[in-house]
Amino acid sequence: MARVRISDVAAAAGVSTATVSLVLNDRTARISDVTADRVRRAAADVGYTPNSVARGLRTQRSRTIGLISDRIATTPFAGRMLSGAQDVAREHGYLVFLVDTDADETVEREAIRALADQQVDAMIYACMWHRVVDAPASLPRGTVFLDCRPTDGGFPAVVPDDRAGGVAAARALVAAGHRRIAYLDVDEPHPPVASGLRHEGYLQVLSETGIVPDPAWHVRGDTSSAGGREATDRLLDLPEERRPTAIFCFNDRMAAGAYVAAHRRGLRIPQDLSIVGYDDQQLVAAELDPPLTTVALPHYEMGRWAMQVALGIRAPDDPGAPHLMPCPIVDRDSVGPPPATAASDSRRRT
């Protein structure tokens, strides 16, 4: 039952452990084919796999990556980041240590130390949502930031291209013929990186299209279905000629709230009101009635990117700036042309 060691293979093959090691690591330049074969056969026979701990001690590399996050593993939001990171690691024979710190600084510090003591080959520092963070001082250089960017730079980072996502969402609505497009923003967040960028993208499209946004179209609510519902109510309470025919929501949950508000007034989606969300949360976007057109957060791809950089397989294009991962729009059924009553307005465009 005891583990098979390299010395067992050596004994079985009648050679020294040095030879076994050389053969199994494919450094056979000076080893005869006969011996190499014998060693490989012996290793297979006795079922030898090298002890990673011993190897790690000697080589100072553990084929192990530490992934520290506030709570991506424990919330339904960003698990696909883990998935992406995990897949790349596995493809290259690495294991990942996962630590969720619950955003507790003490826990975070201890986690970083524990991972360093385990001689992880690299670390990834991940957040649940796109924001700017102060990099903990003890993070080793080269640590990759995932879904967040360090205040002072100095680390490779990957974040969603929220600005482009805002553009895509607004373009989709403009293309459908809408002119009165609201932005349902999140309420006083955290350093509002994601919401600010999405808003910028939205404003850019309006501007390019020659639409002057009504200030009343920028409403806020907390990041929940209820928050979205209340904010939507305020939009729908606007007088007919200022009332938006389409709403771009900060996220899918708030979009779900917009659905509720619309339904309560007997408005149909998309016939009477078009809605675009953000995040592409499977449990929300795809299951709404009708399914929600939304902008996908490329969590899986960001996770892959981060791990590739951590493993040194890929280098950041521009080491100075965070890598911006595209946010593709996912067309479902919540966007349609504006209702006829509003159509006269949009005709102005030509």
Task: Find out whether 204 and 183 touch, Cβ atoms under 8 Å.
Answer: no
Q: Is 26 left (phi over 0), alpha (psi -120 to 50) or beta?
A: left
Binding residues among 149-188 for a second copy as defined by CB under 8 A: none
Q: Closer to a second copy at the Cβ: 290 or 337?
A: 290
Regarding 204 and contact with a second copy (CB under 8 A), the answer is: no
Determine, following the binding rule CB under 7 A, whether residue 206 of this chain makes contact with DNA: no
Q: Strands 274-279, 246-249: parallel, antiparallel or unpaired by DSSP? A: parallel
Q: Which stretch binds a second copy (CB under 8 A): 7-15, 36-44, 71-79, 309-317?
A: 71-79
Q: Which does 19 bind (CB under 5 to 8 A by kind): DNA, a second copy, none?
A: DNA
Per the CB < 8 A criterion, the answer to whether 279 and 250 are in contact is no
Amino acid at 194: A
Report if residue 151 touches DNA, rule: CB under 7 A: no
Binding part of the chain for DNA, among 15-23, 146-154, 214-222, 263-271 by CB under 7 A, reads 15-23
Q: Are strands 293-296 and 329-330 parallel, antiparallel or unpaired?
A: antiparallel
Q: Binding partner of residue 107 among a second copy, DNA, none, CB under 5 to 8 Å per kind? A: a second copy
Closest CA to 299 of 256, 328, 320: 328
C-alpha span between 338 and 242 (Å, rounded): 13
Residues 172, 178, 179, 185: is their CA dihedral positive or negative?
A: negative
CB of 234 to a second copy, least distance (A): 18
> What is d(CA 203, CA 29) in angstroms, rounded to the nearest whole number?
64
Task: Give the shortest CB-93-to-DNA separation in angstroms.
Answer: 13
- Using CB under 8 A as the binding rule, whether residue 99 contacts a second copy is answered as yes
Measured from the CB atom, the residue of 208 and 287 that comes closer to a second copy is 287
Rg (C-alpha) for the chain, rounded Å, is: 27
59 binds, among DNA, a second copy, none (CB under 5 to 8 A by kind): DNA
CA 341, CA 300: separation in Å to the nearest integer? Answer: 42
| List 203, 260, 324, 330, residue binding a second copy (CB under 8 A) | 260
Binds a second copy (CB under 8 A): choice among 21, 119, 204, 209: 119
Instruction: Specify the residue for token string 């690691």.
Output: 89
Q: DSSP for 243-308?
A: S-SEEEESSHHHHHHHHHHHHHTT--TTTT-EEEEEE--HHHHTTSSSPPEEEE--HHHHHHHHHH
Count the site residues for a second copy by CB under 8 A: 55
CA distance 147 to 73: 14
Q: Of residues 115, 127, 174, 247, which one binds a second copy by CB under 8 A?
A: 115
CB of 63: closest distance to a second copy in angstroms? 9
Minimal distance in Å, beta carbon 170 to a second copy?
25
**Closest among 334, 178, 158 to 259, alpha carbons compared:** 334
> For residues 65 and 311, what is the distance between their CA atoms, to the nearest angstrom?
8
118 binds DNA (CB under 7 A): no
> Which position among 4, 11, 50, 142 is part of the footprint of a second copy (CB under 8 A)?
50
Residues in 19-78 at the binding interface with DNA, rule: CB under 7 A: 19-22, 24-25, 27, 30-32, 34-36, 48, 50-51, 54-55, 57-60
Residue 309 CB neighbour total at 10 angstroms: 25
Out of 284, 297, 327, 329, the residue judged to bind a second copy by CB under 8 A: 284
Residue 75 binds which of a second copy, DNA, none (CB < 5-8 A, kind-dependent):
a second copy
> Does the footprint of DNA cover residue 340 (CB under 7 A)?
no
Residues in touch with DNA (CB under 7 A): 3, 5-7, 14-22, 24-25, 27, 30-32, 34-36, 48, 50-51, 54-55, 57-60
